[in-house]
Structure formats: C-alpha cells, structure tokens
Amino acid sequence: MELRECRLMLSEERRARLSAESRLKEFEQENARLRTANLSLTETLAHSASAPAAFSALEDEAVLESIENSFKKFHAFLDLLKDAGLGQIVSMAGLERSDFHQL
C-alpha cells in the first residue's frame, strides 16, 4: 500500500512539475515581450523628448483670435441686454461694469 501511495504522489508531483515548467516558459516569453515593448517605448520617448516641442492650442494664433472674438460677441450681447432695459439680468448674474473692460 505504501509503494502505491508513493507512486501516486510521484505521478502527481511530475504533473505539477511539468505544469510549473510550462508556466515558467510562458512567463519567460511574456517577460521577453514586455522587455522589448519597454525598450521600444523608452526609445520612442527619448526621441520625442529631443524633437521640437509641439505648440499647445493656446499658442496657436487662430485659436486665440477665436477666443477673443467669442468674448467680444458675448460682451456685445450683454450690452444689447442693457440697452434693451434688461441690465438687471446682467446684475443678477453677478457681473459688473468693471468686468466689461475693452479687450
């Protein structure tokens, strides 16, 4: 009976060892893939850091002009409200005359 139990345990240990070795190979392959990806990303980052910086949206003149025009239209709208006798709406919004300085 003891010999049979030992053989059964040996068989289970062999299966477990084969499974562990298989998983080890999978992990080694995954590790190699991740190292390659990491190296590639590091190189890409290094190249992008040495490249000239891209303009942000606020550095673009067209965007700044568009924002300025939007503010001018908004101020013109507020002036129309005041001219139409609806200045209370502007006051209720918490806006004051000092908020409307010329751009």
41 and 73 in a single domain? The answer is: no
**Which of 15, 30, 54 is the C-terminal boundary of a domain?**
54
34 and 83 in a single domain? The answer is: no
Tokens matching residue 37: 């990806």
C-alpha span between 31 and 3 (Å, rounded): 41
Q: Vertex 17, ends 11 and 18: CA angle to 5°?
A: 95
C-alpha span between 91 and 69 (Å, rounded): 23
71 and 103 in a single domain? The answer is: yes
C-alpha span between 103 and 101 (Å, rounded): 6
Domain count, the chain: 2
2 and 49 in a single domain? The answer is: yes
Residue labelled with tokens 């700044």: 64
Whether 103 and 68 have beta carbons less than 8 Å apart is answered as yes
By residue range, what is the domain housing residue 73? Answer: 55-103
Spell out the per-residue pLDDT of the chain, length 103, in tens. Answer: 799 999 999 999 999 998 999 999 999 999 999 999 999 988 888 877 665 555 565 567 888 888 888 988 888 887 777 787 777 776 766 666 555 555 4
